[in-house]
Amino acid sequence: MAKIIVLCCLIIFAAFGSVNGSSKKQEVGFYELKKGDISMKFTNWGAAIVSLILPDKHGKLADIVLGFDSTKEYQTNAPSFGALVGRVANRIGGAQFTLNGTHYKLIANDGNNTLHGGPKGFGHVVWKVKKHSNEGHSPHIVFTYYSVDGDQGFPGALIATVRYALIGNNQLSITMKAKALNKPTPVNLAQHAYWNLNGHNSGDILSNVIQIFGSQITLLDSHLIPTGKFESVKGTPYDFLKPHPIKSKINGLANGYDINYVLDDGVGYKLKRAAVVHDPKSGRVLELSTNAPGVQFYTSNTLDIKGKGGFEYKPFAALCLETQAFPDSVNHPNFPSTIVSPGKPYKHYMLFKFSTN
């Protein structure tokens, strides 16, 4: 049996490259999807969303995703613009965890912590383009990545896939899957697009009106690591249970928003509403649903980088809504488990609906 497992791993190993780094031999490029009023671009570096263009309430087109003009810039993508981040998105405290009695030390890249899977996490590698079709009712693209046992310190070999599809009327479907091949391992994939519904080069998002369907947040320590406790948002600057402009509450915080919301009815994995964002100037509306238990709301608090067309992206130039498992779940037994085992694959869905009002 052991020989069979080794042989299977070697076959997969050969299909995806002898080591993670061998995927760098693949060409990094841009890929496009179009349907109705929406057109999108992607790159296989980090399986990232590069752009999403759609009309405003007056029919004027704009690109509402922050990003870069060249594939070379994506290969030094410090903010993780549009990337599919993992093996474990968000932070793991102390860059370490214990699983089934074995202690694992990860590569720290956020002080003493691991952020978005480490310095060579899934957002900083080349993915294989498995499928790409602009035909039919749901134009789509599928990226895959093979992560070796020990990648960034994580146990076990893993195959990750993400499928982006344009469906229905101005809707984007994202399906993330992962299979553990030989060992249990933590998995928490997240899509890290930076959204500005008025256009990527239009300034800040502080006038956006947002509603987040989470009654609690996971409390953080001074290093942005969860304490394991939960707190009600009511009466705090985190309360967006009813729609409010971001600027109406952000002054109550030291640096802006970077927090995980516990989605209501979010312990299970049924599809549920996560957030609605409305930009009054353009009239564009983003509605997000997911099967994940949480969503990270981030307002690009320290952003300072040159992006598309040479435009300078500054703090609050965009917002991120990263549906996810709770941060640092591997070190908090009271959080929903992120452990994926052979035969029990990981599935994570996101549905974006775009409209105007």
- Find all residues with CB under 8 Å of 73, minimum gap 6, and list them: none
CA–CA dist 65, 279 (Å, integer): 14
Is 132 annotated as belonging to a binding site?
no
CA–CA dist 39, 57 (Å, integer): 17
Is 90 annotated as belonging to a binding site?
yes
CA–CA dist 261, 230 (Å, integer): 10
Q: Are strands 272-278 and 209-212 parallel, antiparallel or unpaired?
A: antiparallel
Number of residues assigned to the chain:
357
Q: Answer whether 3's CB lies under 8 Å from 136's CB.
A: no
For residue range 236-248, what is the model confidence (pLDDT) as tens digits?
Answer: 999 999 999 999 9
For residue range 178-200, what is the model confidence (pLDDT) as tens digits?
Answer: 999 999 999 999 999 999 999 99
What is the rounded average pLDDT of the residues 201-220?
98
Tokens encoding 49? 């969303």
- Find all residues with CB under 8 Å of 168, minimum gap 6, and list them: none
For residue range 330-342, what is the model confidence (pLDDT) as tens digits?
Answer: 999 999 999 999 9
CA–CA dist 9, 62 (Å, integer): 45
Confidence of residue 327 (pLDDT cuts 50, 70, 90): very high
Residue whose structure tokens are 């050969």? 14
Per-residue pLDDT, 21: 41
Is 116 annotated as belonging to a binding site?
no
Per-residue pLDDT, 73: 97
Is 109 annotated as belonging to a binding site?
no
Is 269 annotated as belonging to a binding site?
no
Q: Answer whether 338's CB lies under 8 Å from 204's CB.
A: no
Kindly list the catalytic residues. Answer: 192, 322
Question: CA of 336: how far to CAs of 267, 325, 333, in Å?
Answer: 7, 7, 8
What is the rounded average pLDDT of the residues 328-354?
97
Task: Kindly state the percentage of the chain with pLDDT values over 90.
Answer: 89
For residue range 10-32, what is the model confidence (pLDDT) as tens digits?
Answer: 444 444 444 444 444 679 999 99
Is 255 annotated as belonging to a binding site?
no
CA–CA dist 187, 128 (Å, integer): 19
3-state secondary structure of 259: strand
Per-residue pLDDT, 252: 87
* Pairwise pLDDT comparison (26 vs 273), residue with the higher score: 273
3-state secondary structure of 22: helix
What's the one-letter identity of residue 310?
G
This prediction has a pTM of 0.92
- Average per-residue pLDDT for the chain: 93
3-state secondary structure of 13: helix
Per-residue pLDDT, 241: 98
| CB-CB neighbours of 219 under 10 Å | 14
Q: Answer whether 42's CB lies under 8 Å from 68's CB.
A: no
For residue range 67-112, what is the model confidence (pLDDT) as tens digits?
Answer: 999 999 999 999 999 999 999 999 999 999 999 999 999 999 999 9
Task: Kindly state the percentage of the chain with pLDDT values over 70.
Answer: 92
Q: Answer whether 124's CB lies under 8 Å from 152's CB.
A: no
Q: What is the DSSP letter of 69?
A: S
